[in-house]
Structure 1
Amino acid sequence: MDDLKRAVRRKPSFGQSMRAVFWSFFGVRKGKDHDRDMAQLNPVHVIVAGLVGAALFIAILILLVRVAINLAK
């Protein structure tokens, strides 16, 4: 439990968490980068960044489908 409390108090920026989640969506994280992120990033930021990234991904897919449907008409 103390490990979780210490992890939540980490101070790296939300931008660093977004960058880590972005690269992990593509599956091209290097082992050393993953280990560094696990040691430095705030887990709450990573969860929020993952949700934001997933929402953006879905929105982009919907936009692409709508554009493709309009072009097909």
Structure 2
Amino acid sequence: AARFDLPYLLLQGGADKLSAASGARDFHDRSPSPDKTLRIYPGLYHEVISEPERDAILAEVIKWLEARGTPQSRNDR
């Protein structure tokens, strides 16, 4: 995480039994990325886009992507 400086949206189920939310928080806290978003969904499990809240989560992902416009390669920075 200490070298991960790309933009990211990290989605985590708060009730995930496969990967703990604390690991996502730790990654997020240690990442030097200037554009990083962590969303923890209380009560959801490992595959957050397979949960009943899927439509709201996908809408959030689309909104996050649209806010960032056209992707750039590392060479364009």
Fold-level similarity (TM above 0.5): no
TM-score (norm 1): 0.31
Higher-helix-fraction structure:
1
Please say which structure displays the higher CA radius of gyration: 1
Higher-strand-fraction structure:
2
